Amino acid sequence: MLQVSWMVRQYAYASVILGAFMMWTALAMKIPQALRIYTLYTWVLKVSGLVAVYGLMILYLSTKKLLHHWRTTLKFICIKGIVLITILQERILTWLIEATHDDSTLCLAEPGYPSKSEHLVHFWNSYLVTLEALAFACLVARAFPAGEVGDFAGHHLDLVEVELE
């Protein structure tokens, strides 16, 4: 369980530390160097996110039967699905758009810009995030019903005593 805990925690540390490092890189280095480091940063952060999702999957599978009453499957899909989609979506869109579009025909392209289709990738990524947000909002409403956070008749210590018996 300690390794699983580390797998999740490392993403929180990596995102903060790498984010601060990238701010420094953007201010201190020349643009070509900063762009190369930014590419490395995105890959490292995505791998870190996938390791965190893998750790959460291990935790989920090991406690699935124990926590079935609280609908952990829907909750897991809600939260981790969003993380997984945001990790993979932009890379997949970049690959698809570069494979299917000719850069010379894009109206938003700037001459000499490193990736002329980047605007198109950002547009489709934003569009898909909007649709995904609607789907996940419906899923969150089912996974986290209001009755779960309401007051209950028993005291906390009573529940602990019942579970210990």
What's the pLDDT score for residue 141?
83
What's the pLDDT score for residue 113?
57
Task: Describe the crossing of helices 118-143 and 72-100 by its angle, rounded to 10 degrees.
Answer: 170
The model's pTM is 0.56
Distance CA 98, CA 106 (A): 12
What's the pLDDT score for residue 51?
94
What's the pLDDT score for residue 118?
78
Q: Is the dihedral of CA 130, 135, 137, 138 positive or negative?
A: positive
Do 56 and 76 form a contact (C-beta atoms < 8 A)?
yes
pLDDT digit of tens for each residue in the chain (165 aa)?
A: 778 889 989 999 999 999 999 999 999 999 999 999 999 999 999 999 999 989 988 988 888 888 777 777 787 777 778 778 877 888 899 899 888 877 666 555 555 555 667 778 888 989 998 998 898 888 888 887 777 766 655 555 555 555 555
* Lookup result for tokens 């392209």: 109
